[in-house]
């Protein structure tokens, strides 16, 4: 179970809002955990939060405390 869903959604919304004035081709979301970072496309990150998907072959991001938004 993802422990900090609301905080992650807040961070994503704030990151997208900050970049709303720039021309954006791709939005990447990084879930930050005490043990590492996990990169997702925006739709994959939102899917993970909505469906409480918290691990795959890369690792377990259930403890993600924040999310960073990167744009290209």
pTM: 0.92
**Which structural domain range is residue 55 located in?**
5-71
Model pLDDT, residue 14: 97
Nearest in space to 29 (alpha carbons), one of 56, 51, 11, 2: 11
Phi/psi region, residue 40 (left: phi>0; alpha: psi -120 to 50; beta: rest), is beta
Number of other CB atoms surrounding residue 60 within 10 Å: 13
Within 8 A by CB and 6+ apart from 10, the residues are: none
Model pLDDT, residue 41: 96
**CB hemisphere CA count around 38 (13 angstroms):** 22
* Residue 22 dihedral angles phi and psi, to the nearest 5°: -95, 155
**Domain total in the chain:** 1
30-54 pLDDT tens trace: 999 999 999 999 999 999 999 999 9
């Amino acid at each position: 179970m993802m422990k900090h869903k609301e905080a992650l959604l807040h961070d994503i919304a704030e990151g997208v809002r900050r970049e709303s004035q720039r021309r954006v081709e791709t939005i990447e979301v990084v879930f930050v955990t005490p043990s590492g970072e996990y990169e997702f496309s925006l739709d994959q990150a939102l899917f993970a939060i909505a469906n409480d998907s918290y691990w795959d072959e890369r690792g377990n991001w259930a403890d993600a405390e924040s999310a960073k938004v990167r744009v290209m």
